[in-house]
């Protein structure tokens, strides 16, 4: 018993709590209790994640926490909690209208916790093989949840996500094997040659040619999961056809987890002076995604699909910023990632309730929301204003930092980035105008919604735009320095 408690540190808690909760929720019938346990479990995980900030556990062979992944863990568990709160009311409605059966719900809640477990495992893993397994697991659980409605569209989306995600995952594994091959002559055979902290410490001695090839595969593989163009094809379908809480978690968290994997390997390459600079590859893919997604936004007729393309755009911006590198761009990229996660999942909370009350996701069938449902309508307006990058919200600040730091170094790239952002900006406001203002279209029935998660997210984004606490700035600056 004592041995068990000594094992139960904050680090293991962020893994054990979701795993146990998944097992309990898989067995538990009844929506009311399951939804509450889901919220409680995510709350407990968040507390454990916050405890990691105070007390840093020692580096282990399989798990570790450092400054970089701590940001991701806290963000993941926080959005996991707010999404669980939103999910409770969203899923309650789906149950009422019979789109989901109680059996599906048991499955849904168990999968939700399993996804949290897989993401936390991928973030805390100190072993590149373990990280790969965790990301595969996260992919599988989301595939199952995307297909949960069992409609034509949902199954097609799940299938597409599955096949493209599997190819991406296969590429990433090949890259992982190549990293091991590069490390093995220096570190020796066995598990030690896959431990990330050891790899980084001794990367200077690795064969640079092998590392370069490995990074190309890792970038293509995990880049598919980040949703970078031209590997993004699964993303809009998966976002549009699954339950909205899953869209929120996908956009807000899972894309970040894949990006985190890319960052880890970028650091590995940076530690080897003879290896190629990963920056230009990331800048190219990021910029391509921003411009591509900006134009694609104009043709969307489905509201969730539109915001999925906006996620591609923002993941492109973040990849671009990290690809540029340097303390300022890294800082901005990190800030933008946090802001995007909060804003985009907040938007999906609003969109989920809107789609429920209107009974459709078609943009043409939704209108005049600020008049009929002021709380939801203004929430959506606030979210779109934030995501489009208008001051004084947090996204404006991070985008501004990315653009100014790029202007100072590569003016041409900055011009292209600004062009992409403006194109996306135009598309978002074009659609927002008909969605939020003008003649009310569709059902005007009152809605039983949970506004709290949505407004907490937007409130945080607004607060970050006006005032960033100095401790946060110092923390992020420190990580930005680490990222090189």
Partner 1 sequence: MNASSLDVAHLLAGSMVLVSFMLLYQDRMFAMLNVFALHAIVLSASVAWQAHIQNAPHLYVPAAIALVLKGIIIPIALHRVVIRLGIHRTIETAVGIGRTMLLGIGLVALSMVVMLKAAAAADPLAREDLAFALSVLLLGLLMMVTRRNAVSQIVGFMSLENGLILAATGALGMPLVVEISVAFSVLVAFIVIGVFLFRIRERFDSVDLQALDEWRGERR
Q: What does the binding site for partner 1 look like in residue numbers (CB under 8 A)?
A: 127, 129-130, 132-133, 136-137, 140, 143, 150-153, 155-156, 158-160, 162-163, 166-167, 169-170, 173-174, 177-178, 180-181, 184-185, 189-191, 193-194, 207, 209-210, 212-213, 237, 240-241, 299-302, 305, 361
Q: Which is nearer to partner 1, 63 or 213 (CB)?
A: 213
What is the rounded distance in angstroms from the CA atom of residue 421 to the CA atom of residue 170?
32
Of 21, 13, 175, the residue nearest 113 (C-alpha): 21
CA angle 22, 24, 30 (to 5 degrees): 105
Please identify, using beta-carbon distances, which residue of 159 and 378 lies nearer to partner 1: 159
Closest approach, Cβ 177 to partner 1, in A, equals 5
Q: d(Cα 297, Cα 76) in Å, to the nearest integer? A: 27
Choice between 178 and 395, CB closer to partner 1: 178
* Spatial CA neighbour of 121 closest among 140, 106, 107, 136: 136
**Least distance CB 170 / partner 1 (angstroms):** 6
Handedness of CA 356, 358, 364, 368 (dihedral sign): negative
The least CB distance from residue 449 to partner 1, in Å, is 24
Q: Quick check: 302 and 363 in contact, CB under 8 A?
A: yes
As a whole number of Å, the CA-based R_g of the chain is 21
Please calculate the CA angle 217-221-223 and round it to the nearest 5 degrees: 110
State the minimum distance, in angstroms, from the CB of residue 379 to partner 1: 24
CB of 147 to partner 1, least distance (A): 8
Instruction: Supply the minimum distance, in Å, between the C-beta of residue 213 and partner 1.
Output: 5
Strand-pairing partners, residue 302, are 362
Closer to partner 1 by CB, 361 or 398: give it: 361
- 181 or 468: whose CB is closer to partner 1? 181
Measured from the CB atom, the residue of 163 and 430 that comes closer to partner 1 is 163
Residue pair 438/292 in contact by the 8 Å Cβ criterion = no
Smallest separation (angstroms) from partner 1 to the CB of 405: 33
CB 284 within 8 A of CB 328: no
Task: Yes or no: say if 52 and 148 are a contact pair by the CB < 8 Å rule.
Answer: no
Is residue 25 exposed (0-12), middle (13-18) or buried (19+ Cβ within 10 Å)? buried
Residue 190 C-beta: closest distance to partner 1, Å: 6
Whether the CB-CB separation of 217 and 171 falls below 8 Å is answered with: yes
Give the nearer residue to partner 1 in terms of CB position, either 140 or 321: 140
Centroid of chain to Cα 477: 21
Per residue, what are the HEC states of 249-302? HHHHHHHHHHHHHHHHHHHHHHCCCCCCCCHHHHHHHHHHHHHHHHHHHHHCCE
Nearer of residues 98 and 190 to partner 1, judged by Cβ:
190
Q: In angstroms, give the least distance from the CB of 280 to partner 1.
A: 19
Nearest distance, CB of residue 108 and partner 1, angstroms: 17
- Closer CB to partner 1, 108 or 217, in the complex: 217
Nearest to partner 1 of 160, 457 (CB atom)? 160
Q: Is the peptide bond before 122 cis (omega within 30 degrees of 0)?
A: no
Nearer to partner 1, 86 or 162 (CB): 162
- Contact assessment for residue 90 and residue 352, using Cβ atoms and an 8 Å cutoff: yes
Query: Rounded to whole angstroms, how far apart are CA atoms 370 and 36?
Result: 31
CB of 295 to partner 1, least distance (A): 15
């Amino acid at each position: 018993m004592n041995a068990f408690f000594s094992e139960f540190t904050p680090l293991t808690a962020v893994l054990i709590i979701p795993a146990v909760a998944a097992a309990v929720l898989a067995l538990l019938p009844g929506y009311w209790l399951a939804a509450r346990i889901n919220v409680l479990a995510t709350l407990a995980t968040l507390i454990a994640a916050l405890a990691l900030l105070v007390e840093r556990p020692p580096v282990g062979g399989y798990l570790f926490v450092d400054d970089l992944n701590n940001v991701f863990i806290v963000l993941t568990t926080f959005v996991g909690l707010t999404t669980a709160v939103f999910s409770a009311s969203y899923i309650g409605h789906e149950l009422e209208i019979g789109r989901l059966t109680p059996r599906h719900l048991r499955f849904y809640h168990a999968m939700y916790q399993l996804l949290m477990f897989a993401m936390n495992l991928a973030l805390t893993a100190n072993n590149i093989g373990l990280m790969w397994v965790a990301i595969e697991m996260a992919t599988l659980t989301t595939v199952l949840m995307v297909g949960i409605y069992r409609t034509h569209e949902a199954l097609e989306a799940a299938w597409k996500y599955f096949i493209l995600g599997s190819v991406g995952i296969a590429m990433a594994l090949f890259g992982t094997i190549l990293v091991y091959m590069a490390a093995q002559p220096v570190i020796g055979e066995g598990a030690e040659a896959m431990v990330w902290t050891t790899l980084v410490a001794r990367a200077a001695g690795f064969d640079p040619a092998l590392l370069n090839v490995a990074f190309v595969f890792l970038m293509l593989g995990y880049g598919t999961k980040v949703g970078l163009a031209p590997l993004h094809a699964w993303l809009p379908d998966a976002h549009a056809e699954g339950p909205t809480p899953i869209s929120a978690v996908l956009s807000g968290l899972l894309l970040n987890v894949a990006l985190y994997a890319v960052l880890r390997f970028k650091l590995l390459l940076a530690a080897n002076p003879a290896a190629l600079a990963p920056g230009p590859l990331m800048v190219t893919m990021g910029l391509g995604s921003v411009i591509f997604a900006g134009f694609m936004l104009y043709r969307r007729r489905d509201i969730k699909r539109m915001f999925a393309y906006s996620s591609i755009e923002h993941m492109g911006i973040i990849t671009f910023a990290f690809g540029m590198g340097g303390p300022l761009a890294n800082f901005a990229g990190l800030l933008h990632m946090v802001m995007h996660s909060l804003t985009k999942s907040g938007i999906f909370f609003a969109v989920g309730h809107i789609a429920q009350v209107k009974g459709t996701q078609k943009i043409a069938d939704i209108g005049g929301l600020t008049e009929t449902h002021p709380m939801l309508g203004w929430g959506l307006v606030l979210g779109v204003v934030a995501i489009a990058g208008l001051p004084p919200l947090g996204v404006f600040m991070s985008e501004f930092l990315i653009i100014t730091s790029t202007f100072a170094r590569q003016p041409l790239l900055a011009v292209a980035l600004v062009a992409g952002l403006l194109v996306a900006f135009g598309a978002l406001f074009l659609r927002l105008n008909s969605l939020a203002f003008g003649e009310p279209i569709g059902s005007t029935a009152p809605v039983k919604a949970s506004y709290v998660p949505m407004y907490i997210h937007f409130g945080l984004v607004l607060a970050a735009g006006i005032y960033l606490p100095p401790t946060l700035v110092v923390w992020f600056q420190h990580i930005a320095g680490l990222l090189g």
